[in-house]
Every structure is written in structure tokens, then in C-alpha cells.
Amino acid sequence: MTPALALFLREWRIARRIGGGASVGVVFFLILVSVMPFALGPDLNLLARLGPAILWVAALLATLLGLDRLFQADHEDGSLDLLINGSLPLEVAVLIKCAAHWTTSALPLVVLSPLFGLMLAMAPLPLALVAATLAAGTPALTMIGAIGAALTVSLRRGGLLMAILVLPLTIPVLIFGVAAASAASGGGAPFLSPFLALGSLSLAAIALAPFAAAAALRQVRE
Amino acid sequence: MRLRAWDLTIERGGRRVIAELSFEAPASAALIVTGPNGAGKTSLLRALAGFLPIEAGGFALDGGDGERTVGEQAHYLGHADGVKAALTVGENLAFAAAMLAGDSSRKAQLAALAALGLGHVIDFPARLLSAGQRRRVALARLLVAERPLWLLDEPTTALDAAAQTALAAIMQAHLKGGGILVAAVHAPLGLNGVQELKLGVTTEAAA
């Protein structure tokens, strides 16, 4: 077994088992989306117009929810030492951990978002486009969140600090995500250019964040 | 092969815990680090593993792989076991072996666990293990992947007498094969021919 595959499998197994927290994000997403119609009232047009923004904000918060434990659990039980001195460069290990985290917690959001969007009275095309923008944008959220998770790895209640550090950096992702997603719900705004900007944000985050997170992991822990 | 450190100085939180320490750990002989609490035993081992920055001096593994850091040629076993409670013992070892470029086959896991008297728990979730058993799973990592330098921080914590004897045998075999062992201990490990490195508590403030 290659080290990369072993790490991915381990992360996947831990997330799927009891206490792993893979479904926490999805359940949080469902809760947030399903209480919105009660809060906003039964105006279907309003719901449909706000739908993409609600889905995006819910996805952003749900993604950040589980991320604070990304490195903290490994730091607490000592297995981070194994990652640092293992046969994989730490940057690659960070990338693989993020990939595993994305597939266990963000991918279910992408897949289920059309279903949840039905509660917001959204039409089929906007539903599909929201799912597409989430698929293109959530990797950026995970990768940016990983930097915050690495910086707060040794703090016991680092989750809130991580959210404060990370949220401002995720605003561009949110703006382009919602811009692309609402293009389909009318208004005449273009879909493609914000969508491509969203994709480029994700690619840049995938390329750069592992270096930042690995540097933070090496520096911050004492 | 030998581990050599010269004028090693380590500071933690503005306090100099290790000041200008020089030592050599030759192959086939254990270097036992002793000293009172707070003498810097853990700091020294973590610095050698590459987890703590050093202020001055340096260390090197003579005759080792020049392409890799000392830490990447070392097994580091600290106070935390690095055993994931959600995984089975076998899965834990398979991951460690793959990560450390060792042998991740089930046969190697069984052999490593059997050497520590733990072969029967290979398919148990690690969360059901006792502290001593978890420690032994962590020690089994030493056997599933081969690395020339072992940095062990109080390896006998939570171990019963039988496991301590098994650990002594494992360490003796490692030394016999030309390995280097640096261990921080409070009680004797039951090894022959050890060198001792005594650390004292320094009260000197960092400059």
C-alpha cells in the first residue's frame, strides 16, 4: 500500500465510523436549509430568489464546522508526529487529508443540495447550477479552512478562532459562488465568468494552501 | 553509524532547557537519557526528531541517508501513543507501516504484535484497549517499519512486567542489528551495556 493511499483510507475510515463526524456537516446543512422557509415565510418567489444564497451560506458554515478537527485530533493523539516524519512530504499529506475531508463532508453536500433546494422552491436548472457551483467552490473552502485548522492546531478551543481567521478569506468564494448560482434564477447576469473565477479560486487554493498549512503545522506546534 | 550532537541548545518559553550539550550515540549501544522532571529529556528527544527548533549547535546521523533529515530516519515514540481509537489495531499498524515505508502486510503486523504478546487483538478496535495495550500497539510500530534510530520517550509507561521484558528483548535485537537507541527513562530498561546521559535542571534564563 502506498503511503498516500494508506492516509486517504485511514482518514476515510475514521470519518465514516462512530464519532468521526462525517455526517455532522450534512445534518447541519439540512437543518439550516430546512428552517429557512419557516423564518422567511411562505413566499415562494422570495424563497426561490434567496435559494442559491441560502444554500451557499449553509454550505460554507457546514464545511467550516468539521474542519477545526482536521489536524487537531492528530496533534492530540501524537499521530501528527508520524505524518511529519513519514515518507510523504507534509504538504502532500495535508493535501490528501483535505481530499479525504472533502469527499466525506463536502461531497455529500454537493450531491444532496438539489434535494434540499427543493425546500426553497427552486426550479430544476438553478438546482443543477447550484450543485455545480458547490462542486467547483467547496474545494477552495476546504483548502482555505485547512490553513486555519493548521494555525489553531495546538489550541484547545480553536474552532471559533479558526472560523474568524478563515471566514474573511472565504468571502471571494462565496461572492463568485452565489453570483454564478443566481445567474440561472434570472436577472440576466452571466453564469460562465463567475463560475470560471470560482474554479480558479479552487485551483489556486489546492495549489497553495498545502504549503501554507504544512508550514503552519511545522511552526505552530510546540 | 552513530548519532552525534554538538553544542546543542534548546529553549522553550524563554527558558534554556538544554545548554550546549554534546554527546555521541554509537550504533549497538543504548544511550539512556536521565534527569529529574523538567530537565529537558522530552525536549531533547523532540528536537532530535525535528519537532522542536534548536537555538544553537546541531546534530547529525553519521553514516545515515544524507537525503533525509534525522527525524525521517527515526522512530519517535512520545507520551502520546499515536493510536487512532476508531480504527482496529491492524488498521493502525498498516497505516503506520505504510507511512513509515515499512511492511504493511498482515503477516508483519501479526509478527510485531506477537513480539509484544498482543497478537490476539489485531482485529479489535483500538478504543477497547487498555492504556498498556495501546502503548504496546504503539511499540509495535517500531517493528513494522525499519528505521535505524529509535527515539523513545519513557517507553515503559503503563507497561506490565512481561511487556517490559518483551520491550527489552526488542530493543536488544535492534541494537544487535546495528541500530541506535536514545531513550528517556526514569527506571532501568533492563539492557546491557548502556551509556547514560544525565541532564540537570538549568535555571539559566535565555539570553
Block means of pLDDT (10 residues each) for chain A, 222 residues, are 90 83 85 90 86 91 87 90 90 95 92 89 87 94 94 85 91 93 74 92 96 91 66
As a whole number of angstroms, the distance between CA B69 and CA B144 comes to 20
Q: ipTM value, please give it.
A: 0.87
pLDDT, residue B207, reads: 47
Looking up cell 467547496 gives: A138
Find the mean pLDDT for residues B107-116. 91
Find the mean pLDDT for residues B76-90. 91
- Chain B residues with CB-CB distance to A9 below 8 A: 95
CATH of B2-198, one of 3.40.50.10860, 3.40.50.740, 3.40.50.300, 1.10.260.40: 3.40.50.300
Closest alpha carbon within chain B to A79? B82
Is the predicted pLDDT of residue B205 greater than 60, yes or no? no
Is the predicted pLDDT of residue B161 greater than 50, yes or no? yes
- Chain A residues with CB-CB distance to B123 below 8 A: none
pLDDT, residue A47, reads: 87
pLDDT, residue A189, reads: 76
Query: Taking the model in full, what pTM does it have?
Result: 0.91
pLDDT, residue A111, reads: 92
List the domain boundaries for chain B: 2-198
Hey, are the CB atoms on B72 and A85 less than 8 Å from each other? yes
User: How far from B158 is each of A188, B12, B80, B130, B132, CA to CA, in Å?
Assistant: 68, 27, 12, 9, 5
pLDDT tens-digit readout, B12-37: 888 888 888 999 888 888 899 998 88
Hey, are the CB atoms on B82 and A20 less than 8 Å from each other? no
User: How far from B161 is each of B143, B156, B187, CA to CA, in Å?
Assistant: 20, 9, 12
User: How far is B199 from chain A, CA to nearest CA, in Å?
Assistant: 20
B69, B79, B86 ranked by CB distance to A17: nearest: B86
User: How far is B80 from chain A, CA to nearest CA, in Å?
Assistant: 5
Hey, are the CB atoms on A221 and B72 less than 8 Å from each other? no
Find the mean pLDDT for residues B152-176. 91
Grid coordinates given for A123:
426550479
pLDDT, residue B195, reads: 85
B52, B78, B86 ranked by CB distance to A19: nearest: B86
Q: Which of A18, A79, A154, A221 to mutate to test the interface with B (most CBs of B within 10 A)?
A: A79
The per-residue pLDDT of chain B, averaged, comes to 88
B69, B78, B101 ranked by CB distance to A81: nearest: B78
Are B110 and B77 spatial neighbours (Cβ–Cβ below 8 Å)?
no
Find the mean pLDDT for residues B126-133. 92
Sign of the alpha-carbon torsion through B156, B42, B148, B172: negative
